[in-house]
Amino acid sequence: QVQLVESGGGSVQAGGSLRLSCAASGFIYSTKSVAWFRRAPGKEREGVAVIYSGTSITRYSDSVKGRFAITQDNAKTTVYLQMNSLKPEDTAVYYCAAKQSYGGGWWSLVESDFPYWGQGTQVTVSS
């Protein structure tokens, strides 16, 4: 049974940093794509970053490029989202999502492409 457990949310002032963690377990094969999505109040869920575990290649949305970094640990079981230069508009519930992947389509940030989801963690950025 696949499980994704997020941690690391909280409150920070604009310009500050936070790091989110997503611990993944239960995958049959180690190669997977893991993404971070977020849902701000009154908005649709938005994909912000994705990493392919096989090569650690990454992709970011334009809204976070240059400020956020997605990485994975050596065991490829935990994915991190380092968020720097945070802005009030980054306030949202952040979700970790994952899918088994063998390379093709690893870059997707489409919500419906991911069958596995974490419970979400709140990030609040005050001005």
| CA-to-CA dists, residue 84 to 39, 57, 60, angstroms | 18, 20, 14
Q: Which of 3-7, 29-33, 118-122 has the lowest mean pLDDT?
A: 29-33
Determine the average pLDDT of the residues in 3-10: 95
pLDDT at 77: 92
Query: Could you give the C-alpha distances from 124 to 52, 59, 63, 92, 104, in angstroms and in order?
Result: 27, 23, 16, 7, 34
Flag whether pLDDT at 29 surpasses 90. Answer: no
Read off the pLDDT band of 104 (50, 70, 90). Answer: confident
Edge-to-edge strand list for the sheet holding 18-25? 3-7, 18-25, 78-83, 68-72
